[in-house]
């Protein structure tokens, strides 16, 4: 189902990779727990507790590879976890497992803000999927942004990002932007093409971590897109 | 079509979907992942002078690499009908139309084109677009992969491989020095390893010559051009650099080859610069990879912050590299990291010994050669093995003369194999092991001694009695 949980992987490696994935997709889980009516603090504790449970009990190793996506697996698992009163009580009693996955305050605030933005307009599953899509594209953009930063081309990335991420304002014409950056239109087009290709690869690489096959990458992206755009 | 919107929620100007809190359109970002990797229709031809950039099946220009200063394509030379690597560089706006810049580029380009060396990818032709916006030059298309790709795929190299590569790069630098040319952007991605394991340095001098030409490319303008991780500390300052800058970059490249890491890295140019000029070298990385001490010492000197403390020239660096290679070879006797090869050589010697033992002429020839070589070899450095060899020779002589019979066929085979291994190293080991150089070759020596000790002891007792 996910590379991290594959039987061939070393247990520590699998655990570490899973922990990294959990870190990336903490916000969707938190949103889901919040949508079940838990308070901010309880939701933090429960989310942390869920991941601790997942990692400690190696639940991922029992997952059926044929069932596919890590997203569906996590959603089903958190539902089970929350429905298990004993687990929930135990987690809340010990204050969650706050240290299990290190969390930044900003990360928690962002997750809460995301929940507040969408909570009135979606059911809990859709809210989870939407938050998942947010986390996914954020991870893809972060990968790309780091690459550009590493090459000392952060400014170029910021200027061109609108061509993949859209925005309220229409993108500038190639001519306008080329003049502003001091490069020719053809060079700018080439930069944009490359940025798109690299973003595409970064996003697909991120999805690939959570599915079994290249074909599922397309399916996963289509499904998330459908969730976002359906009436 | 989309999700009902709350008042005041911004929507994407491209697709009308709501934007997220960061002002990004999730739908556009997801769609990008589903796009085909390229436009399937053939794109318009990209032509620079006599060269037309190749396109792949999806109509994308075939890129070999792109960096901060330009893009390298695979292109067709329409006149000579050969494939080349074409580097296309956009001339900085500040430098366009400048006669001084043009003259400098031409000077560097001529020097680079004049540089012909087996370790340098040859520059065939250079030119500029009519509007002066692009400069380009065609280079030899090298089949292979870059050092960076190799290390990222296979992991760090061992000391011997690293030295071999560094020596070939240094040969290229020596050839360049003869043309007053410096590279200025040596780094793993500019070192091509051919399929025959030869090194070809690419991008000699030219790329940086163009981009440095405006004379104002420094940190204060945020326009450092090139690869800061492998740049010398002096490249972060404005002002000229000399061959010692390349020597620093070569040191950083060799460090990367041996560890898989750059000696100094950081998230920003300033951070990298500060680390290069302030921090000690992280030699623990070298220790972690068991890099031999002579090589550590050499890396320390090439990566000295002060250019005055580095080897002064490529020639001086070559002497240091050769000295390092000698030390490493001597330290372990036979080629240092190839016990498997030595064992294989000995296994072959053992097989040959069977044929030799059954053929009196071959045995006599082996004996004569061993005796001749043993006589020519100074006794001192290999005292123990020398005495050991002499005993084996005496035993064979005694057997041959029919004076001594108490040796089993098996023990004789081992002795013959040991002799073959010792006297025929040039045939058995491609690296031309010095005669009797098995002094530190513990595995083979111990094996032979174990198999023959009793036989030789018995023989020496017999000798004592016979006398």
Give me the phi and psi of B65, to 5 degrees please: 175, 160
H/E element, A230: none
Closest alpha carbon to B311 in B177, B202, B208, B179: B177
Q: Give yes or no for a contact between B237 and B306, defined as CB atoms under 8 angstroms apart.
A: no
Interface test with B, best of A167, A180, A226 (most B CBs within 10 A): A167
Sorted by where each starts, the structural domains of chain B and their CATH numbers stand as: 1-35 (no CATH), 47-331 (1.10.510.10), 339-466 (no CATH)
Quote the mean pLDDT of chain A: 78
More confident residue, B96 or B52: B52
Please state which of the ranges A40-44, A160-164, B57-61, B434-438 shows the lowest mean pLDDT. B434-438
Percent of chain A exceeding pLDDT 70 equals 77
Which chain B residues are closer than 8 Å to A183 by Cβ? 90
> Is residue B224's pLDDT more than 70?
no
| Yes or no, beta carbons of B4 and A221 under 8 Å apart | no
Residue A34 distance to chain B (closest CA, Å): 19
3-state secondary structure chain B: CCCCCCCCCCECCCCCCEECCCCCEHHHHHHHHHCCCCCCCCCCCCEECCEEECECCCCCECEEEECCCCEEEEEEECCCCEEEEEEEEECCHHHCCCHHHHHHHHHHHHHHHHCCCCCECCEEEEEECCCCCEEEEEEECCCEEEHHHHHHHHCCCCHHHHHHHHHHHHHHHHHHHCCCCCCCCCCHHHEEEECCCCEEECCCCHHHHHHHHHCCCCHHHCCCCCCHHHCCHHHHCCCCCCHHHHHHHHHHHHHHHHHCCCCCCCCCHHHHHHHHHHCCCCCHHHHHCCCCHHHHHHHHHHCCCCHHHCCCCHHHHHHHHHHHHHHHHHHCCCCCCCHHHHHHHHHHHHHHHHHHHCCHHHHHHHHHHHHHHHHHCCCHHHHHHHHHHHHHHHHHHHHHCCCCCCCCHHHHHHHHHHHHHHHCHHHHCCCCCCCCHHHHCHHHHHHHHHHHHHHHHHHHHHHHHHC
The residue behind tokens 């018995």 is: B458
Into how many domains does chain A fold? Answer: 1
B365 half-sphere exposure, CB direction, 13 A CA radius: 10
Residue B24: pLDDT band with limits 50, 70, 90: confident
* Cβ-based contacts of B70 with chain A (< 8 Å): none
Out of A182, A190, A228, closest to residue B27 by CB: A228
Q: How confident is the model at residue A29 (pLDDT cuts 50, 70, 90)?
A: very high
- Can you tell me whether residue A177 is helix, strand or coil? helix
- A window 98-137, beta carbon within 8 A of B: 113-114, 117, 121, 130, 133-134, 136-137
Highest mean pLDDT (candidates B45-59, B61-75, B380-394) = B45-59
- Mutation to test the B interface, candidates A110, A120, A152, most B Cβ within 10 Å: A152
Instruction: Say whether pLDDT at B175 is over 60.
Output: yes
Residues 6 or more apart from A83 whose CB is under 8 A from it? none
Q: Taking a C-beta distance cutoff of 8 angstroms, is the pair A35, A125 a contact?
A: no
Query: Searching chain B, which residue's CA lies closest to the CA of residue A169?
Result: B13
Higher pLDDT, B90 or B226: B90
Q: Does A170 touch chain B (CB under 8 A)?
A: yes
Share of chain B above pLDDT 70, in %: 71
Name the least confident of A52-61, A149-158, A174-183, B274-283.
A52-61
CB pair distance less than 8 Å for B3 and A228: yes
Give the per-residue pLDDT at A50: 85
Higher pLDDT, B407 or B43: B407
Phi-psi category of B90—alpha, beta or left, where left has phi over 0 and alpha has psi -120 to 50? beta
With an 8 Å Cβ cutoff, is A187 touching chain B? Answer: yes
Q: State the angle between helix axes of A26-35 and A40-56 in degrees (0 to 180), rounded to the nearest 10.
A: 130
Active site residues per annotation of B: 185
List CB contacts (< 8 A) between A113 and chain B: 21
- Helices B159-177, B314-331: inter-axial angle, 10-degree rounding: 160
pLDDT exceeds cutoff 80 at B127: yes
CA angle, residues B175, B180, B186, in degrees to nearest 5: 65
> How much is the pLDDT for B163?
92
Most confident of A3-12, B107-116, B341-350: B107-116
| CB neighbours of residue A64 within 10 Å | 8
Distance from CA of A157 to the nearest CA of B (A): 13
Q: What's the domain range around A135?
A: 3-229
Q: Is the pLDDT of residue A16 over 80?
A: no
Mean pLDDT to the nearest integer, A12-24: 70
Contact B35 A200 (CB under 8 A): yes
CA distance B224 to chain A (A): 8
Q: Which residue has the higher pLDDT, B21 or B234?
A: B234
| Mean model confidence pLDDT for chain B | 75
- Does the distance separating the beta carbons of B19 and A167 come in below 8 Å? yes
Sorting pLDDT into bands at 50, 70 and 90, what band is B56? Answer: confident
B6 with A121: Cβ contact below 8 A: yes
The span from the CA of B363 to the CA of B87, in Å, is 62
User: pLDDT tens-digit profile of A94-134?
Assistant: 554 445 556 677 778 888 887 887 776 678 888 898 899 98
Q: Which of the pair, B294 or B426, is modelled with greater confidence?
A: B294
Please write the tens of the pLDDT for every residue from A59-91: 666 655 444 578 888 888 888 888 875 666 666
Q: What is the mean pLDDT of residues B214-229?
A: 47
Chain B CA closest to residue A147: B267
Better-scored residue on pLDDT, B409 or A139: A139
Q: How confident is the model at residue B336 (pLDDT cuts 50, 70, 90)?
A: very low
Token representation of residue B73:
């394509």
Worst-scoring range by mean pLDDT, A114-118, A186-190, B308-312, B434-438?
Answer: B434-438
CA angle, residues B70, B74, B76, in degrees to nearest 5: 120
Contact state of A137 with B93 under an 8 Å Cβ cutoff: no
- For A218, the token pair is 């397309």
Sort out which chain B residues have CB atoms less than 8 A from A195's CB and list them: none
pLDDT 10s digits, B246-256? 999 999 999 99
> DSSP assignment of A4-71, as one string?
GG-TTS-HHHHHHHHHHHHHHTHHHHHHHHHHTT--HHHHHHHHHHHHHHHHHTTHHHHS-GGG--HH
Of B59-63, B79-83, B203-207, B393-397, the range with the highest mean pLDDT is B79-83
Tell which of B13, B18, B26, B28 to mutate to test the A interface (max A CBs under 10 Å): B26
CB atoms near residue B178 (< 10 Å): 11
Quick check: helix, strand or coil at residue A221?
helix
CB < 8 Å to B25, chain A: 165-167
Distance CA B113, CA B135 (A): 15
Longest dimension (CA), chain A: 64
Q: Which residues contact B299 (CB under 8 A, 6 or more apart)?
A: B251, B254, B255, B281, B286, B291
CA distance B295 to chain A (A): 29
b/e map B268-296, b = 16+ CB within 10 Å? ebeebbebbeeeebbeebbeebebbebbb
């Amino acid at each position: 189902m996910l590379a991290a949980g594959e039987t061939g992987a070393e247990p520590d490696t699998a655990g570490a990779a899973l922990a990294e994935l959990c870190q990336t997709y903490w916000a969707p889980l938190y949103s889901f727990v919040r949508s079940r009516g838990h308070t901010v603090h309880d939701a933090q504790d429960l989310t942390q507790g869920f991941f601790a449970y997942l990692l400690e009990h190696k639940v991922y190793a029992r997952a059926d590879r044929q069932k596919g996506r890590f997203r569906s697996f996590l959603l089903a698992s958190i539902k089970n976890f929350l429905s298990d009163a004993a687990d929930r009580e135990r987690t809340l009693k010990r204050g969650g497992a706050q240290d299990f996955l290190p969390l930044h305050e900003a990360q928690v605030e962002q997750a809460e803000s995301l929940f507040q933005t969408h909570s009135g307009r979606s059911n809990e599953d859709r809210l989870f999927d939407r938050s998942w899509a947010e986390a996914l594209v954020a991870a893809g953009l972060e990968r790309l942004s780091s690459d550009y930063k590493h090459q000392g081309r952060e400014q170029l990335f910021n200027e061109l990002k609108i061509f993949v991420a859209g925005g309220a304002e229409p993108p500038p014409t190639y001519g306008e932007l080329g003049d502003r950056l001091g490069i020719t239109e053809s060079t700018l087009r080439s930069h944009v093409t490359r940025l798109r290709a690299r973003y595409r690869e970064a996003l697909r690489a991120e999805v690939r971590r959570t599915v079994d096959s290249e074909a599922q990458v397309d399916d996963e992206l289509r499904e998330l897109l459908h969730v976002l755009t359906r009436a | 079509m989309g999700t009902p919107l709350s008042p005041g929620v911004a929507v994407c100007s491209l697709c009308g979907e709501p934007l997220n809190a960061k002002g990004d359109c999730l739908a556009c970002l997801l769609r990008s992942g589903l796009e085909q990797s390229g436009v399937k229709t053939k794109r318009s031809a990209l032509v620079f002078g006599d060269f037309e950039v190749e396109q792949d099946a999806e109509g994308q220009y075939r890129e070999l690499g792109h960096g901060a200063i330009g893009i390298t394509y695979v292109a067709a030379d329409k006149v000579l009908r050969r494939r080349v690597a074409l580097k296309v560089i956009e001339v900085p706006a500040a430098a366009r139309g400048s006669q001084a810049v043009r003259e400098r580029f031409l000077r560097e380009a001529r020097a680079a084109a004049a540089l012909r060396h087996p370790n340098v990818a040859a520059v065939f032709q250079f030119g500029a677009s009519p509007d002066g916006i692009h400069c380009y030059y065609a280079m030899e298309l090298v089949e292979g992969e870059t050092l960076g790709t190799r290390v990222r795929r296979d992991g760090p190299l061992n000391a011997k491989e690293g030295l071999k590569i560094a020596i070939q790069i240094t040969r290229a630098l020596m050839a360049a020095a003869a043309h007053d040319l410096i590279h200025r952007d040596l780094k793993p991605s500019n070192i091509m390893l051919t399929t025959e394991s030869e090194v070809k340095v690419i991008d000699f001098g030219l790329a940086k010559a163009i981009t440095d030409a405006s004379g104002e490319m420094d940190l204060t303008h945020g326009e450092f051009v090139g690869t800061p991780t492998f740049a010398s500390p002096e490249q972060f300052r404005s002002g000229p650099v000399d061959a010692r800058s390349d020597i620093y970059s070569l040191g950083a490249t060799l460090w990367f080859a041996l560890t898989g890491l750059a000696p100094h890295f950081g998230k920003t140019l300033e951070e990298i610069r500060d680390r290069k000029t302030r921090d000690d070298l992280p030699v623990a990385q070298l220790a972690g990879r068991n890099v031999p001490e002579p090589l550590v010492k050499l890396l320390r000197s090439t990566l000295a912050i002060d250019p005055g403390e580095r080897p002064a020239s490529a020639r001086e660096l070559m002497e240091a590299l050769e000295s390092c290679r000698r030390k490493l070879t001597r330290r372990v006797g036979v080629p240092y990291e190839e016990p498997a090869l030595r064992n294989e050589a000995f296994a072959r010697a053992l097989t040959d010994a069977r044929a030799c033992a059954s053929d009196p002429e071959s045995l006599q020839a082996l004996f004569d050669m061993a005796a001749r070589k043993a006589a020519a070899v100074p006794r001192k450095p290999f005292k123990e093995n020398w005495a050991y060899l002499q005993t084996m020779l005496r035993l064979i002589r005694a057997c041959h003369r029919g004076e001594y019979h108490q040796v089993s066929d098996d023990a004789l085979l081992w002795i013959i194999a040991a002799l073959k291994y010792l006297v025929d190293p040039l045939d058995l080991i491609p690296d031309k092991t010095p005669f009797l150089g098995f002094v530190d070759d513990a595995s083979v020596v111990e094996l032979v001694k174990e198999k023959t000790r009793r036989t030789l002891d018995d023989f020496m007792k017999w000798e004592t009695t016979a006398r």
